[in-house]
Structure 1
Amino acid sequence: MESYEQPVLSVRHLNKQYGSGCVNCRASRGGRLIKNYCPVCSTVYACRDISFEVQAGEILGVVGESGSGKSTLMQCLYFDQSVSSGEAYINSYKSGRENIFMASTQQQRYIRNLMMGKVYQNPVMSLKMNFSAIGNIADKLIAAGNRNVREMEARGKELLEHVNIPVYRVKEAPGNFSGGMQQRVQIAKALSNNPPLLLLDEVTTGLDLSVQASVLDLIKKIQRQLQISMVIVSHDLGVIRMLADRTVVMLDGRIIEQGLTDQILEDPQHSYTQQLVQSLLI
Structure 2
Amino acid sequence: MGEYSAPILTVNNLNKHFGSGCDRCSNAEDRKLDKNYCPACHTVYSCQNIKFDLYPGEVLGIVGESGSGKSTLMQCLYFDQEVSSGEAYLQPYKEGGSNLFDESSQQKRYIRNHLMGKVYQNPVQGLRMRFSSIGNIAEKMIAAGNRNVGAMESRASELLNRVHIPVYRMKEAPKNFSGGMQQRVQIAKALSNNPPILLLDEVTTGLDLSVQANVLDLIKHLQKELKISMLLVSHDLGVIRMMADRTMVMLDGRVVEHGLTDQILEDPQHRYTQQLVHSLL
Instruction: Report the Cα offset of residue 99 of structure 1.
Output: 0.4
Counterpart in 1 of 2:198?
A: 198
Instruction: Report the Cα offset of residue 20 of structure 1.
Output: 1.4
* Helix, strand or coil at the partner of 2:241: helix
Instruction: Report the Cα offset of residue 26 of structure 1.
Output: 2.4
Structure 1 residues 168 and 246: CA distance shift in structure 2, 3 A? same
Counterpart in 1 of 2:18?
A: 18
> Structure 1 counterpart of 2:258, which letter?
Q
TM-score (ref. length: structure 1)? 0.97
Distance 1:109 1:198 in 2: 15
**Residues 192-271 of structure 1: matches in 2 within 5 Å?**
192-271=192-271
Instruction: Report the Cα offset of residue 6 of structure 1.
Output: 2.2
Distance 1:216 1:204 in 2: 8
* Helix, strand or coil at the partner of 1:192: coil
Are 2:82 and 1:82 equivalent residues in the alignment?
yes
Distance 1:200 1:40 in 2: 35
Cα pair 1:30 1:36 within 8 Å, conserved: no
Cα pair 1:246 1:260 within 8 Å, conserved: yes
**Residues 52-71 of structure 1: matches in 2 within 5 Å?**
52-71=52-71
**1:199-250 Cα distance to aligned partner (Å, 9 max, x none):** 0000000000000000000010001100000000000010000000000000
Any runs of at least 4 consecutive aligned residues in structure 1 with deviations exceeding 3 A, and if so which?
27-31
Distance 1:50 1:201 in 2: 17
TM-score (ref. length: structure 2)? 0.98
Instruction: List runs of 5+ in structure 2 lacking aligned partners.
Output: none
Distance 2:129 2:21 in 1: 39
Counterpart in 2 of 1:187?
A: 187
Structure 1 residues 280 and 151: CA distance shift in structure 2, 3 A? same
Counterpart in 1 of 2:178?
A: 178
* Helix, strand or coil at the partner of 1:29: helix
Counterpart in 2 of 1:8?
A: 8
Q: How many residues align?
A: 278
* Helix, strand or coil at the partner of 2:79: coil
Distance 2:213 2:122 in 1: 18
> Structure 2 counterpart of 1:132, which letter?
S
Distance 1:171 1:150 in 2: 14
Counterpart in 2 of 1:165?
A: 165
* Helix, strand or coil at the partner of 1:212: helix
Greater CA drift, 17-26 or 151-160: 17-26
Distance 1:278 1:76 in 2: 31
Distance 2:149 2:30 in 1: 54
Counterpart in 1 of 2:280?
A: 280
Instruction: Report the Cα offset of residue 25 of structure 1.
Output: 1.2
> Structure 1 counterpart of 2:12, which letter?
R
Instruction: Report the Cα offset of residue 30 of structure 1.
Output: 5.3
**1:27-63 Cα distance to aligned partner (Å, 9 max, x none):** 4735420000000000000000000010000000000
Distance 2:5 2:227 in 1: 15
Counterpart in 2 of 1:114?
A: 114
> Structure 2 counterpart of 1:109, which letter?
R
* Helix, strand or coil at the partner of 2:150: helix
Distance 2:19 2:210 in 1: 41
Distance 1:119 1:23 in 2: 38
**1:103-136 Cα distance to aligned partner (Å, 9 max, x none):** 0000000000000000000000010011000000
Structure 1 residues 193 and 28: CA distance shift in structure 2, 3 A? closer
Distance 1:156 1:30 in 2: 52
> Structure 2 counterpart of 1:101, which letter?
F
Instruction: List runs of 5+ in structure 1 lacking aligned partners.
Output: none
Distance 2:232 2:192 in 1: 19
Counterpart in 2 of 1:149?
A: 149
